[in-house]
Amino acid sequence: SLIAILPGDGIGPEVTAEARRVLEALGLDLAFEEAPVGGAAYHQTGNPLPEATLDLAKRADAILFGSVGEPSCDALARHLRPEQAILGLRKELALFANLRPAKLFAGLEDASALRPEVARAIDLLIVRELNGDVYFGEKGMRTTDAGLRQGYDLMSYDEGEVRRIAIAGFAAAQRRRGKLCSVDKANVLETSQLWRDVVIEVAADYPDVALSHMYVDNAAMQLVRDPGQFDVIVTGNLFGDILSDQASMCVGSIGLLPSASLDEGGKGLYEPIHGSAPDIAGQGKANPCAAILSAALMLRHSLGQPAAADRIEAAVASALAAGHRTADLGGTCSTKAMGDAVLAAL
């Protein structure tokens, strides 16, 4: 299979390099092709998502993505900013279902800001919609009748968009503990009201899944109070962005959490949920585990290699359990040393 490697900005190249080493060590029949994306691509070509990169992403069987975001690009027009590359890939490839699992690794109880007994109970999956919501609605700057600058962004979902992500949520819950919590803000937003109506309609096809609904403000609170109550959470693009970052911290470090972004057919883009962390880029301090675990998700969801995925996950768990830790977890391992520890455990 052909794997597109899009390292991107900041710590992206360092962490994807380790993930690639792990993939190569498995002895599978994989070919790799790299292309620039984000600020790196903008500086080389004037476009954060060059045609050639998008082409490669389309040709490939799966995409391993690093991260994008580069302070030197903050002042650019929106369509030239690094973030447009990941948003463009998600949209162009119709990667609408973002899976973000969060679970505490044994031995990391001390890394979480939560009490050990609270953190230990975490084993949840956030299913985030990725192609709609206020991310992709009409947006811009205009002048009000009173002559004031105004920024605006349209939030919306149609029933087709909600139905397909709801199905992804119910299906995930069936494969796990059978509980699905749909998060919205239906007491204020019409977009959320439609979301809730459609989720309830889809529920009829999944009588074996226990469905509940929660307002997003309450969900943010419950994720701190008692994250162990959740199995699968399904939510929109914006709320999913916020809640999944929050959940990541509950398990100790955002440097541990992978994600899969899938289309209807199972093709996917795999990326750590952390950002480009420009402050530590190029220093060998970044935690490569999220990227390595993203490679595992790729093997499971796009390459039909669940056993290899299990092997990688077990190797990361045992490297962590043996005390190998990067700085985000209070350790002294470099990015490469952490990669080595995972490779040794493989």
Ligand X SMILES: CC(C)[C@H](C(=O)O)[C@@H](O)C(=O)O
DSSP-assigned states of every residue in 188-254 = T-HHHHHHHHHHHHHHTT-TTSEEEEEEHHHHHHHHHH-GGG-SEEEE-HHHHHHHHHHHHHHTT-G
> Of 203, 200, 209, 232, which Cα lies nearest the Cα of 219?
232
- Find the binding residues for ligand X in span 79-108 (CB under 6 A): 83, 86-87
Please say which residue, 186 or 210, places its beta carbon nearer to ligand X.
186
| Calpha distance 209→231 (Å, rounded) | 11
Binds a copy of itself by CB under 8 A, chosen from 241, 267, 280, 311: 241
Distances (CA, A) of 321 to 104, 123, 259, 314, 318: 11, 18, 22, 10, 5
Ligand-binding annotation for 276, yes or no, is yes
Ligand-binding annotation for 281, yes or no, is yes
Q: Left if phi > 0, otherwise alpha if psi is -120 to 50, otherwise beta: which for 240?
A: alpha
Q: How far is CA 136 from the centre of its chain?
A: 18
Ligand-binding annotation for 283, yes or no, is yes
Write down the catalytic residue from 135, 157, 206, 270. Answer: 135
Active site (annotated) includes residue 103? no
Active site (annotated) includes residue 241? yes
Please say which residue, 164 or 301, places its beta carbon nearer to a copy of itself.
164
Binds a copy of itself by CB under 8 A, chosen from 98, 131, 248, 261: 248
Which option in ligand X, a copy of itself, none does residue 113 bind, with CB closer than 5 to 8 A by kind?
a copy of itself
Q: How far is the CB of 16 from a copy of itself (least distance, A)?
A: 21
- Is there binding between residue 143 and ligand X (CB under 6 A)? no
First to last CA, the chain: 21
Active site (annotated) includes residue 42? no
- Is there binding between residue 217 and ligand X (CB under 6 A)? yes
- Find the binding residues for ligand X in span 179-198 (CB under 6 A): 187-188
Residue identified by tokens 């060998």 is 284
Q: What is the sign, positive or negative, of the torsion defined by CA atoms of 68, 72, 74, 77?
A: negative
Q: Go through the chain and tell me how many residues it has.
A: 346
Active site members = 135, 185, 217, 241, 245
Q: Binding site for Mg(2+): residue ranges?
A: 217, 241, 245
Binding site for a copy of itself (CB under 8 A): 69, 78, 81, 83, 87, 113-115, 118, 134-135, 137, 139-141, 144, 146, 148-160, 185, 187-195, 197-198, 216-218, 220-226, 238-239, 241-246, 248-250, 254, 275
